[in-house]
Structure 1
Amino acid sequence: MDPKVEQFMARIKAKNPSEPEFHQAVHEVAESLIPYIEENPRYKHAKILERIAEPERVIMFRIPWINDKGDVEINRGYRIEMNSAIGPYKGG
């Protein structure tokens, strides 16, 4: 693996431990973008890869519900919004 990809992924894993799916997705993008970013210093200076690996917004909300025994349970939900550069955030 490219040492630059390894260095970048080490920082991502330190910031986001226990998120293997996120690590895999970022790794795939980093592998394809790092060579291009290295050839174009303006993108490196603008920290494009760091920007797209960090969410713009994280929304946390509660979800109250009633279980089968009739007791109220409260869970926490999250919506992570990564990039709105080309319009509204995707649902999902």
Structure 2
Amino acid sequence: MRLITVRYQSSIILNHFEGLKLTLASLKISYLEQLNSKIFALLPTNFTCLKIDHLIKRIGMRGETVIFGHKKSDIRRFLEFTRLLS
């Protein structure tokens, strides 16, 4: 009976450590994703060439230019929305 108890306890301990390994890996991935989103959020504020208005001017959209059926203002809102998601 003692041998069965020891094996059972050791299997519980091993399962516990395997769970910790998985948790640690997921925490690392989560941290990297957060860091990535912070970097991409800071880029446009530090580099004016990456701001949405600058990019729109750079590709030559003026006034109510329509590209693929979308107005410039709609494209700007979409780009700002996608930037907020990242």
Same fold by TM (over 0.5)? no
Greater percentage in strand: 1
